[in-house]
């Protein structure tokens, strides 16, 4: 086993960058003319991100502003899990959360993808909320990385390449 090369597949988001994107979105919403007088705001509500406005279209526009700020800060939208707008009293709200780690069902899909599509000698094991991929050949591991970059369901990063 000592001669095997490995890397870990993780899904992590820099929480400071999320906070920076949130602050930029708050500033833009406060300054934009089309958000004047509609009660538009975006803020942290515990672990969730809460967006509010007085109409469904406005709250979707607030979400769009926040998403654009996330993209500018280098955070993939695959990491943002947003719900549908819902009425709460006189305002509409959207609750969103940032996905950290690889969920068990997604890890199983990645595992199956590696088994089916990756070169023969590549093995993967689920370790909590990350995957360890190992092989004797470093070239096979790089081929597997290229395969996983196209994975749609989660924002994946590769760490501990040895």
Whichever domain contains 128, its CATH number is: 3.30.70.860
Contact (Cβ atoms closer than 8 angstroms) between residue 31 and residue 119: no
Place of tokens 């196209």: 150
Q: Tell me: the pLDDT tens digits for 108-159? A: 999 999 999 888 889 989 988 889 999 998 888 898 998 888 888 888 888 8
In this structure, the answer to whether residues 134 and 86 fall within a common structural domain is no
Domain termination residue (choose one: 78, 98, 118)? 98
Q: Tell me: the pLDDT tens digits for 13-49? A: 888 999 999 999 999 999 999 889 888 999 988 789 9
Contact (Cβ atoms closer than 8 angstroms) between residue 52 and residue 39: yes
pTM value is: 0.83
**Structural domain count, the chain:** 2
Q: For residue 149, give its domain range.
A: 5-12+102-159
Whichever domain contains 92, its CATH number is: 3.30.70.990
């Amino acid at each position: 086993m000592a001669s095997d090369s490995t890397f870990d597949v993780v899904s992590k988001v820099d929480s400071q960058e999320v906070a920076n994107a949130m602050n930029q979105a708050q500033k833009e919403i406060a300054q934009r003319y089309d958000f004047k007088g509609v009660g538009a705001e975006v803020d942290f509500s515990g672990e969730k991100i809460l967006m509010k406005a007085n109409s469904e279209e406005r709250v979707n526009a607030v979400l769009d502003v926040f998403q654009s700020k996330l993209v500018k800060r280098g955070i993939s939208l695959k990491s943002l899990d947003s719900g549908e707008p819902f009425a709460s009293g006189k305002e509409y709200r959207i609750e969103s959360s940032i996905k950290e780690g690889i969920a068990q069902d997604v890890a199983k899909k990645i595992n199956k993808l590696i088994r089916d599509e990756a070169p023969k000698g590549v093995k993967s094991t689920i370790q909590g909320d990350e995957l360890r991929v190992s092989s004797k050949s470093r070239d096979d591991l790089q081929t597997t990385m290229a395969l996983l970059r196209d994975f749609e369901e989660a924002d994946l990063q590769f760490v501990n390449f040895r």
